[in-house]
Amino acid sequence: MKYFASILILLSSLACNNTFQKTNNQVEEPEAETVSNRSGNYVPQSVNPQTAANLKNFLIHDFIKDELEFIPEEQRKFQFYKIDLNGDGNEEIFVRLLSSYFCGSGGCTFLLLDKYGEIITRFTVTRAPFWVEPTKENGWSVILLKDAGVFKEVVYDNGKYPGNPSLLPKAPYDAPSGHAQLVFDEDFAPCKTYAF
């Protein structure tokens, strides 16, 4: 009994310490409700309350404003990933739309936005994950995607990336480089999920 009481005191002490740490580090998220059920081990490129709120506003008031009434609330989910693709010191933002409204048998809709929230590329029939290579063409990182089990090299040209990877030829190699940055991988690079 004495052993059991000691364990209870120790567990209570640890719980209090964890609560205190969470309270000190907690950031209130403006308007973008978090819907992720994971323990919170997200890549830092996907966790920013202000970016989430800005994206929620963009999705509701700009991108799908005419379709919003047709999208059930439980299907209004997104993730984002911030990354500087052109080396100018400003991060672009990949947005992953997560629901059957935005996804079909061939893949889902993803957006690539500039720092002002302007669409650079709207990707269709695309599947996660992405590999952002350190190699640049036309001043922008090469993106590697998998389509029907085959890697496709997505290269920036004329102000955007190609929006439909299924139309691209097979990449000249069979795997990403060991230096590629993994984006939207649920196992190795999980992103926080938000509601809009």
* Span 82-104, pLDDT tens digits: 999 999 999 999 999 999 999 99
d(CA 111, CA 119): 7
* Span 26-83, pLDDT tens digits: 333 344 555 555 557 999 999 999 999 999 999 999 999 999 999 999 999 999 999 9
Residue 105 burial by CB count (10 A; 0-12/13-18/19+): exposed, middle or buried? exposed
d(CA 68, CA 76): 9
Helix (H) or strand (E) segment spanning residue 108: strand 107-113
Residue 122: CB atoms within 10 A of its CB come to 17
Residue 116 structure tokens: 């002002």
| Cβ neighbours of residue 49 closer than 8 Å, sequence gap 6 or more | 27, 28, 29, 30, 32
Whole-angstrom CA distances from 26 to 9, 14, 19, 40 are 26, 18, 10, 12
Q: What is the mean pLDDT of the chain?
A: 85
| Per-residue pLDDT, 23 | 32
Considering only CA atoms, which of 120, 122, 106 is closest in space to residue 166? Answer: 106
* Span 171-189, pLDDT tens digits: 999 999 999 999 999 999 8
pTM here?
0.80
